[in-house]
Amino acid sequence: MSTKNLALINNLNLPSSPLPNDKQQQLAKIINQMDSNQSLWLSGYLAARAEFYNDSNLTHKLTQTDNKQADQQSKLTVLYGSQTGNGKSIAEDLQQQAKNADISTEIFSLADFKVKQLAKKSLVTLVISTHGEGEAPDDAEAFHDQLFSKKAPDLSHLKYSVLALGDSSYEMFCQTGLEIDERLTELGGKRIHQRIDCDVDFESAASKWIEEILSEVKSLVVSESSSDNITALPVPNVVTSKNSPVINKLNPFLAEISTIQKITARDSIKDTYHIELSINPDLIQYQPGDSVGVVARNNSKSVDQILSYWQLDESEPHTFKTHTLSIRELLVEHIEITQLSKPFIQFLAKEIDNKTLQELATSHASFLDYCQDHQLLDLLLKFDPEHKIPVQDILNELRSITPRLYSIASSQTTEEDEIHLTINLEPATTSGQRGLASGLLCDTAEVGDEVAIYIEPNQNFRLPENDHIPVIMIGPGTGIAPFRAFLQQREASGAQGGNWLFFGNPNFSSDFLYQAEWLKMKKSGLLDQISVAFSRDQTHKIYVQDRLKDQAKQIWEWLEKGAHIYVCGDAKYMAKDVERTLIEIIEVHGKLSTDDAKNHLKTLKQNNRYQKDVY
């Protein structure tokens, strides 16, 4: 380096320099010892460093990068797929408890999470329900397909655990959870906890899983004390003030019953009721497509019959799960007596040598048929008339009461302080028993009585945000309920998109639910079309899928214009028949192969243009 340049460097003691004098002297001393190549390298290094770090402190930047990488290693990703909201509530509970334990978390619905994102996660818990006969819930269908595709990523870095939700009365109990658990292992994932399969009364098993998971996670992650790392799950349908209680399944709202009106005729084969509940809109908020959970107690008369059968004093103490109370309190408030479970029938089949009972325990079809019009008392009177099985043994095998969900038949935009429901009163069983919630709301309750409720949001059954998009609504029977809410909302918002309603029931004269309302909407122009199918008004039965076939060309034209399709009602038959018909329509009028037509419908589903609320 030239003497002139060294002199310049030695005199870099400028007022604007960020270096203190001693640092400047050290720098000058080092530079004086460098040759020209070393000086050139240093100048380039410092220039690149200044540009890359934008004059920020290097240590701070490196620490930021390291923290980001460490955060991905230490963060617990909570995923959920839920049809009725139970999976979501468990996931939220896990997240909250993780937050309380200073574990950094993030939470996603599987509807908003792609399988390829797993490649960037290291620690995952997944709460997943099984819908229908072994199917993934609607919000997890795309994730499930991606996971089993050839493009699924290598997950050898992943540590995970699955909590599966299901109903053991179904043949494919927790099937989706089982499949996902095994597939994650195939892709290289390592379990941090064995999969837990939960039945309908899942609370105890889920709580234990959360406790054990957090214990495992604590040993694997770097705890974060700052709440800034917690990604909160939004709850769009609940607005509360600081002093307002949060309404949920564990803390329901007592709604007054303001209307109980039968809306099928006397000669109908169905007893369908329109129910109106008064609510406080500051505590209860809902959107079209949501459901209401009814938290009901067992009917006192039904409990009296069971006590009489068992010949028990109502004050006699017994134990059910974690509760030790009088047998009457247990039967009224805690024990499920209106729905039979397959595990309970299998238990009876081991205790009682009866050919019919053995068939119920082994044949899923026979079990389902029997459950349609039989409850606990019917079963016991038939197969254990002398009550030889000890009561406590029976209690050990029974389930807890669970809330009943009903689609909301009103829009809060028009019915601010009310919730409307459309409910079929279940026929009485051989011993005169009714359904738990339907029996309460349609049979035993009176106007002015109160019922405990909460809102179960359904993000997978929503009107399009764009009011110009046309919608096709298919809802036979009480499946019409959410579409009454949809149309009220579309009318209130002045939506310009077309509305086409498909409705079916046994007879026109006795079962045309809300007929006057639909005709008024048709006259006003809100309803572009209404297609009805009354199955028993002619010798050959006609269903909603038949009306879809009749209008196949126009259905396709609506789809081509961007229409959204909604289906609500029976999952076992109607929903499957409707889906097959839609595939046929797409195949014929879209001029596609069957496989391409199926993929087209799947794409509609993935784009939220085909949504179902079936049960």
Q: How many CB atoms sit inside 10 A of residue 493's CB? A: 12
pLDDT the model gives residue 351: 95
Q: What is the pLDDT of residues 468-482, one digit of tens each?
A: 999 999 999 999 999
Of the listed ranges 221-225, 376-380, 448-452, 519-523, the least confidently predicted one is 221-225
pLDDT the model gives residue 14: 41
Q: What is the pLDDT of residues 110-122, one digit of tens each?
A: 988 999 999 999 9
Q: Higher confidence at residue 217 or residue 330? A: 330
CA distances from 210 to 85, 163, 201, 605 (A): 17, 9, 16, 32
pLDDT the model gives residue 125: 96
Q: In CATH, which superfamily holds the domain spanning 67-229?
A: Flavodoxin domain (3.40.50.360)
pLDDT the model gives residue 483: 98
Query: What is the torsion angle, in degrees rounded to the nearest 10, for the CA atoms of residue 201, residue 207, residue 210 and residue 216?
Result: -120
pLDDT the model gives residue 29: 63
pLDDT the model gives residue 170: 83
What one-character DSSP code corresponds to residue 408?
A: B
What one-character DSSP code corresponds to residue 88?
A: H
What is the C-alpha to C-alpha distance for residues 379 and 231, in angstroms, rounded to an integer?
Answer: 49
Equal CATH topology for 300-395 and 471-614 = no
Q: Does 398 have pLDDT greater than 50?
A: yes
Q: What is the pLDDT of residues 279-326, one digit of tens each?
A: 999 999 999 999 999 999 999 999 999 999 999 999 999 999 999 999
| AA identity, residue 467 | D
* DSSP SS3 for 454: strand
pLDDT the model gives residue 236: 38
Closest alpha carbon to 331 in 357, 302, 308, 353: 302
Percentage of residues in the chain with pLDDT exceeding 90? 72
Query: What is the torsion angle, in degrees rounded to the nearest 10, for the CA atoms of residue 47, residue 48, residue 53 and residue 59?
Result: -90
What is the C-alpha to C-alpha distance for residues 400 and 323, in angstroms, rounded to an integer?
Answer: 11
In this prediction, residue 23 has a pLDDT band, given cuts at 50, 70 and 90, of low
Closest alpha carbon to 552 in 597, 586, 503, 591: 586
The domains of the chain are located at 3-51, 67-229, 253-294+403-456, 300-395, 471-614
In this prediction, residue 263 has a pLDDT band, given cuts at 50, 70 and 90, of very high
In this prediction, residue 327 has a pLDDT band, given cuts at 50, 70 and 90, of very high
Percentage of residues in the chain with pLDDT exceeding 70? 84
Report, as an integer, the average pLDDT of 576-602: 97
Report, as an integer, the average pLDDT of 16-37: 62
Q: Does 387 have pLDDT greater than 90?
A: no
Cβ contact 95:109 at 8 Å: no
Report, as an integer, the average pLDDT of 347-355: 95
What is the C-alpha to C-alpha distance for residues 602 and 596, in angstroms, rounded to an integer?
Answer: 10
Q: How many CB atoms sit inside 10 A of residue 376's CB? A: 25
Q: Does 448 have pLDDT greater than 60?
A: yes
Q: In CATH, which superfamily holds the domain spanning 253-294+403-456?
A: Translation factors (2.40.30.10)
Q: Does 47 have pLDDT greater than 60?
A: no
448, HSE (Cβ side, Cα atoms, 13 Å): 1
Query: What is the torsion angle, in degrees rounded to the nearest 10, for the CA atoms of residue 498, residue 499, residue 502 and residue 508?
Result: -120
Q: Does 39 have pLDDT greater than 80?
A: no
Q: Does 40 have pLDDT greater than 70?
A: no
| AA identity, residue 227 | S
Buried b (16+ CB within 10 A) or exposed e, 98-126: bbeebbbbbbbbbbebebeebeebbbbbb
Q: Does 435 have pLDDT greater than 80?
A: yes
Q: Does 467 have pLDDT greater than 80?
A: yes
Report, as an integer, the average pLDDT of 232-239: 40
* DSSP SS3 for 23: helix
CA distances from 551 to 186, 556, 558, 581, 593 (A): 46, 9, 11, 11, 20
Angle at CA of residue 365, ends 577 and 199, nearest 5°:
95
| AA identity, residue 13 | N
pLDDT the model gives residue 168: 85
Mean pLDDT, all residues of the chain = 88
What CATH topology corresponds to 471-614? Answer: Rossmann fold (3.40.50)
Of the listed ranges 41-55, 97-111, 381-395, the least confidently predicted one is 41-55
Of the listed ranges 120-134, 222-236, 260-274, the least confidently predicted one is 222-236
Tell whether domain 300-395 is in CATH 1.20.990.10. Answer: yes
